[in-house]
Amino acid sequence: MDVVQITEVDRIRLADVQFVNRVKGAPSGPTRVLETPVDMLRVIPSDANIIHEVNGWPASFWLPVGSGQVLFTTVGPDAWMRPR
């Protein structure tokens, strides 16, 4: 049985967000000021493939579970939406 190990550090509210793509080592776009602040759960995952960070904390990451992988996100969904 696989055990997913994610240590929760704290929760914060973000009024602006800039995702950094860890694979490319660069921001994924400009800093966005949000109309309504979003929650972010700051965590330390073990054995994770971190894809995005916000303020140096994992924002999205893959963890192996069983014979597959699960995508975790730690920032509220409104932060991921991009205006047209």
Q: Are 67 and 36 in contact (CB under 8 A)?
A: no
pLDDT at 2: 61
Q: What is the mean pLDDT of the chain?
A: 92
pTM: 0.88
> Which residue type occupies 68?
G
Q: Average of pLDDT values for 40-62?
A: 96
Between CA 17 and CA 5 the distance in angstroms is: 26
Answer yes or no: is pLDDT of 36 > 70: yes
- Which tens digits make up the pLDDT trace of 9-19? 999 999 999 99
Q: Where are the beta strands (DSSP E) in the chain?
A: 6-17, 20-21, 26-27, 32-45, 49-54, 57-65, 68-73
Handedness of CA 12, 44, 70, 80 (dihedral sign): positive
pLDDT value at 1 more than 60 = no
